Amino acid sequence: MMENISLFMFPVMILVVFAGFPVTFSLMGISLYFGIVCFGPEIIPMIIRRVYGVADNYVLAAVPLFIFMGTMLERSGIAKILFETISMWMGRIKNGLAVTTILMCTIIAACTGIIGAAEVMVGVMAIPPMMKRGYNHALIAGTVIAGGALGTIIPPSVVTVVYGPAAGISVGRLLIATIFPGLLISSVYVLYIVIRSYGQKGFAPPIFSEDRDIPLSRKLKATVTGMLPSVVLIFTVMGTIILGFAAPTEAAALGAFGSVLLTIGYRNFTLKVLQEATIQTLKISSMMMMILLGGFMFSGVFLGLGGSDATERMLSAFNMGPWAVLVFFLFIVYLAGFLLDWASILLIFVPIFSPIIDKLGFDPIWFGALLIMMIQTSYLTPPMAPGIFYLKGIAPPELTTREMFRGIVPYMMLQLLAIAVVVFFPQIALWLPEKLIGWN
């Protein structure tokens, strides 16, 4: 009986969220209500243990460290320097500024690990010059939004750090597994821009003479001063994880320290900057931890009521095969992205999906990479696309919402194509962690 009751938790949650209640308190309230109704006061100690589990989780300590790294880099001036450096090398390519935007978002995502950080940082730099040179407005919007979404999958992603404890799998292994899928998506975006620029007449503006006539010495100098420090920071974070020198939390601490050094190196460090970055880190971390707490409470009560068994029986009643279940789970995550933030999605669905995926014989690391890619897709998908709301905050009035919707559609299709490629070729995600010593 209780197993069937657990299935009502989801429709109640949807109704409460649609009623306008904050997601965090909706999750906590529903968990307490169903827990007390079904278990009585005995549920309180269990919920307290779940709360302690969140506070005591060593891996989750990486979250505020990655957030601090991202907020500090926002103030370091690295975005402007990177944009100028990459645009110098891309000047001879049609739509070179659009290609620059994707490449820069890839690097910023690898430096910060925060969703939306790259979109805001890069959008402020890239939109004015693209507008000035007559770029198609839909292309501008789609490129900035899609590039900003790369922070979901490109490691060190905060999404991945949260996913690991929720699924009970190695965060380090998952971070390594998302490297190639993230680079695949970035590469597909760049190929689309280049192929369409040269294949469709009138799609790309002409190449300007000032972009072609930059001396090689100037390019090399800009690369050493502008791009090399970012590469060093990326290696500091991901390289230490890949080589087994540090766990994700220690690597995040190194990245946070490296972001401070970069800010000092670019002569933008002040006590005010440090204070602003710290306060912003506290705000974002507190918000995320509250969501994590609500998600852990919700999944704990759901699983305690036998929700996992009820879900399995429901899937068996529909006579769904393993691959159909996999696609169904990814589709549920895609739809949930219209209503919930990524942290709520992970904490609600991953504890339910993971045991079933294990029983079906799928690799949990591979499934984790696919699910994170699907969260990234929901970030792009109208009508609720969070990426569009980020862009509207920094875009000039000439860039309309309709153009933003139209511009994101090709990238959404490319995103789904990349997911299909990883589905049919799992080694894209699994090869690297399997080859690295120490990640068995």
Tokens of 149: 């979404």
Q: Helix 96-112 vs helix 62-74: angle between axes, to the nearest 10 degrees? A: 140
Query: Within 13 A of 301's CA, how many CA atoms are on the CB side?
Result: 33
18 lies in some domain: no
Asked if 368 and 167 count as a contact pair (C-beta separation under 8 A), the reply is yes
Query: Within 13 A of 194's CA, how many CA atoms are on the CB side?
Result: 14
Q: DSSP characters for 152-206?
A: GTSSS-HHHHHHHHHHTS-HHHHHHHTHHHHHHHHHHHHHHHHHHHHHSTTSSPP
Calculate mean pLDDT across residues 206-223. Answer: 69
Q: Considering only residues 226 and 278, tell me which one the structure prediction assigns the higher pLDDT.
A: 278
Cα–Cα distance measured from residue 106 to residue 188, given in angstroms and rounded to the nearest whole number: 12
Task: Give the mean pLDDT of the chain.
Answer: 82
Q: State yes or no: pLDDT of 437 exceeds 60.
A: no
Q: What is the pLDDT of residue 439?
A: 43
Calculate mean pLDDT across residues 265-281. Answer: 88
Q: What is the pLDDT of residue 2?
A: 59
Question: Which residues, in sequence order, are CB contacts of 67 under 8 Å at separation 6+?
Answer: 114, 158, 280, 281, 284, 285, 288
What is the amino acid identity at position 66?
Answer: F
104 lies in some domain: yes
Q: What is the pLDDT of residue 37?
A: 82
395 lies in some domain: yes
26 lies in some domain: no
Per residue in 343-370, pLDDT (tens digit) is: 778 888 888 888 889 888 899 999 999 9
Q: What is the pLDDT of residue 223?
A: 78
Per residue in 312-345, pLDDT (tens digit) is: 777 777 778 889 999 999 998 888 887 777 877 8
Q: What is the pLDDT of residue 363?
A: 93
Q: State yes or no: pLDDT of 1 exceeds 70.
A: no
Cα–Cα distance measured from residue 188 to residue 228, given in angstroms and rounded to the nearest whole number: 24
Largest pairwise CA distance in the chain: 75
Calculate mean pLDDT across residues 88-115. Answer: 79
Q: What percent of the chain lies above the pLDDT cut of 90?
A: 15
Q: Considering only residues 95 and 34, tell me which one the structure prediction assigns the higher pLDDT.
A: 34
Calculate mean pLDDT across residues 247-276. Answer: 87
Cα–Cα distance measured from residue 27 to residue 291, given in angstroms and rounded to the nearest whole number: 8
* 436: DSSP letter: S
Cα–Cα distance measured from residue 228 to residue 353, given in angstroms and rounded to the nearest whole number: 41
Q: What is the pLDDT of residue 191?
A: 93
Report how many helices (DSSP H) and strands (DSSP E) the chain contains, helices first.
25, 0
Cα–Cα distance measured from residue 179 to residue 21, given in angstroms and rounded to the nearest whole number: 36
43 lies in some domain: no
Greatest mean pLDDT range, 45-59, 69-83, 155-169: 155-169
Cα–Cα distance measured from residue 333 to residue 378, given in angstroms and rounded to the nearest whole number: 8
Which single residue is written with the structure tokens 């739809």?
Answer: 335
Q: State yes or no: pLDDT of 171 exceeds 60.
A: yes
407 lies in some domain: yes
Q: What is the pLDDT of residue 202?
A: 67
Q: Which domain holds residue 304?
A: 58-435
Q: State yes or no: pLDDT of 49 exceeds 60.
A: yes
Cα–Cα distance measured from residue 171 to residue 173, given in angstroms and rounded to the nearest whole number: 5
47 lies in some domain: no
Q: Considering only residues 120 and 228, tell me which one the structure prediction assigns the higher pLDDT.
A: 228
Q: What is the pLDDT of residue 206?
A: 66
Tokens of 75: 């103030």
- pLDDT range class, residue 178, cuts 50, 70, 90: very high
Nearest to 274 by CA among 73, 23, 54, 48: 73
Domain count, the chain: 1
Taking residue 345's Cβ as centre, other Cβ atoms within 10 Å add up to 24
Calculate mean pLDDT across residues 214-234. Answer: 78
Calculate mean pLDDT across residues 185-193. Answer: 93
Q: Coil, strand, or helix at residue 136? A: coil
Q: State yes or no: pLDDT of 211 exceeds 70.
A: no
Q: What is the pLDDT of residue 429?
A: 93
Per residue in 283-317, pLDDT (tens digit) is: 888 887 887 788 888 888 887 778 777 777 777 77
288 lies in some domain: yes
SS3 content of the chain, % helix, strand, coil (to 5): 80, 0, 20
Cα–Cα distance measured from residue 64 to residue 116, given in angstroms and rounded to the nearest whole number: 16
Q: What is the pLDDT of residue 440?
A: 41
